[in-house]
Amino acid sequence: MAQHTPTECDFLVVGAGIAGLRAAVELGEAGRVLVLAKRQVCDSATHYAQGGIAAALSDEDEVSLHLQDTLVAGDGLCNVEAVRVLVEEGPPRIEELIEWGTQFDRNGTKLAFTREGAHSRNRVLHAQGDSTGREILRALYAKAKTLKNILVLEFEMSSDLLLEDDRAVGVSVIGDGGELRQITASAVLLATGGLGQLYRNTTNPEVATGDGIAMAYLAGADVSDMELIQFHPTALYIKNAPRFLISEAVRGEGAYLRNMEMDRFMHKYHAQGDLAPRDVVARAIVHELEITRSPDPIVYLDLTHLKPDHVQHRFPRIYATCMKYNIDITTEVIPIRPAAHYVMGGILTDLTGQSSLPGLYAAGEAAANGVHGANRLASNSLLEGLVYGARAGQAMRNDWHRGLPTLNRKHAAPSNGSADSGIEELIGQIRDVMWNKVGIVRDGSGLRQAVETLQSLRSRVVGPGTRRAFEGRNILTSGLLVARSALAREESRGGHYRTDYPTHDDAKFLKHSVMRGEKISFQ
Give the residue numbers annotated as catalytic, written as ranges: 278
Residue 314 and residue 454 in contact, taking contact as beta carbons nearer than 8 Å: no
Q: Specify the stretch interacting with ligand SIN by CB under 6 A; choose among 244-252, 343-351, 366-374, 415-423.
A: 244-252
Tell me the residue number closest to ligand SIN, measured at CB: 51
- Enclosing H/E stretch for 508: helix 506-509
Q: What are the backbone angles phi and psi of residue 233, rounded to the nearest 5°?
A: -65, -30
Shortest spacing between CB 50 and ligand SIN, in angstroms: 4
**Residue of the chain from 172, 182, 379, 485 that contacts ligand SIN (CB under 6 A):** 379
Stretch that binds ligand SIN, among 205-213, 243-251, 399-407, 409-417 (CB under 6 A): 243-251
Residue 363 CB, shortest distance to ligand SIN, in Å, is 17
**List of residues 6+ apart from 258 with CB closer than 8 A:** 264, 265, 299, 300, 301, 302, 333
Q: 248 vs 288, which CB is nearer to ligand SIN?
A: 248
* Segment contacting ligand SIN by CB under 6 A, of 58-66, 148-156, 377-385, 478-486: 377-385
**Between 230 and 485, CB nearer to ligand SIN:** 230
Smallest gap from Cβ 193 to ligand SIN, in A, equals 13
Q: Find the helix or strand (DSSP H, E) in which 68 lies.
A: helix 63-73
Instruction: Indicate the residue among 158 and 234 with the shorter CB distance to ligand SIN.
Output: 234
Q: Nearer to ligand SIN by C-beta: 51 or 495?
A: 51
* Rounded least distance, CB 383 to ligand SIN, Å: 9
Q: Which of 24, 34, 249, 461 binds ligand SIN (CB under 6 A)?
A: 249
In whole angstroms, what is the distance from residue 210 CA to residue 366 CA? 8
3-state helix vs strand vs coil in the chain, percent to 5 = 35, 20, 45
What is the nearest approach in angstroms of ligand SIN to the Cβ of residue 378?
4
- Which of the stretches 9-17, 152-160, 378-386, 473-481 binds ligand SIN when contact is defined by CB under 6 A? 378-386
Identified binder of ligand SIN from the candidate list 73, 322, 344, 378, rule CB under 6 A: 378
Query: Least separation, in Å, of the C-beta of 244 and ligand SIN?
Result: 11
Q: CB of residue 227 vs ligand SIN: minimum separation in angstroms?
A: 19
Report the residue number, 171 or 284, with the smaller CB distance to ligand SIN: 284
**Helix (DSSP H) and strand (DSSP E) numbers for the chain:** 15, 22
Residue 510 C-beta: closest distance to ligand SIN, Å: 25
The maximal CA–CA distance of the chain, rounded, in angstroms, is 68
Task: Identify the residue among 172, 184, 369, 381 touching ligand SIN (CB under 6 A).
Answer: 381
Shortest distance, position 46 Cβ to ligand SIN, whole Å = 11
Please give the size of the binding site for ligand SIN, defined by CB under 6 A: 8
Least Å distance between CB 69 and ligand SIN? Answer: 13
Using CB under 6 A, which of 149, 158, 172, 247 touches ligand SIN? 247
Residues with Cβ within 8 Å of 226's Cβ and at least 6 positions away in sequence, in order, are 213, 343, 345, 346, 478, 481, 482, 484, 485, 486, 513, 515
Which region, judged by CB under 6 A, interacts with ligand SIN, from 205-213, 241-249, 443-451, 454-462? 241-249
Residue 32 or 496 having the CB closest to ligand SIN: 496
Ordered alpha helix ranges (H), 223-304: 249-252, 278-291
Query: Which is nearest to 196 in space by CA: 229, 224, 158?
Result: 229
Which region, judged by CB under 6 A, interacts with ligand SIN, from 246-254, 302-310, 396-404, 499-507? Answer: 246-254
> Which 3 state secondary structure label does DSSP give 236?
strand
Judged by phi (left if over 0) then psi (alpha if -120 to 50, else beta), residue 275 lies in: alpha
Which own/partner pairs from 86-89 qualify as long-range (CB within 8 Å, at least 24 positions apart)? 86/371, 86/380, 86/383, 86/384, 86/387, 86/388, 87/55, 87/56, 87/63, 88/63, 89/387, 89/390, 89/391
| Angstrom distance (rounded) from CA 188 to CA 180 | 18
Nearest to ligand SIN of 105, 491 (CB atom): 105
Return the number of other C-beta atoms located less than 10 Å from residue 121's C-beta. Answer: 16
Q: Are residues 389 and 430 in contact, defined by beta-carbon separation less than 8 angstroms?
A: no
Nearest to 147 by CA among 385, 401, 393, 351: 393
Pairwise CA distance, residues 382 & 364, whole Å: 8
Using rule CB under 6 A, residue 131 touches ligand SIN: no
Residue 132 or 352 having the CB closest to ligand SIN: 132
Q: x/- contact string, 19-58, with ligand SIN (CB under 6 A)?
A: -------------------------------xx-------
Query: What is the Cβ-side half-sphere exposure of residue 348, based on CA atoms within 13 angstroms?
Result: 17
CA distance 197 to 243: 11
CB-nearer residue toward ligand SIN: 219 or 229: 229
SS3 for 348? strand
Single residue of 135, 248, 365, 491 touching ligand SIN by CB under 6 A: 248
Nearer to ligand SIN, 310 or 508 (CB): 310
Tell me the window of 79-87, 221-229, 356-364, 376-384 that interacts with ligand SIN (CB under 6 A). Answer: 376-384
24 vs 19: CA distance, rounded Å: 9
CA distance 145 to 160: 27
Q: How far is residue 281's CA from residue 299's CA, in Å, rounded to a whole number?
A: 12
**Positions that interact with ligand SIN (CB under 6 A):** 50-51, 247-249, 378-379, 381
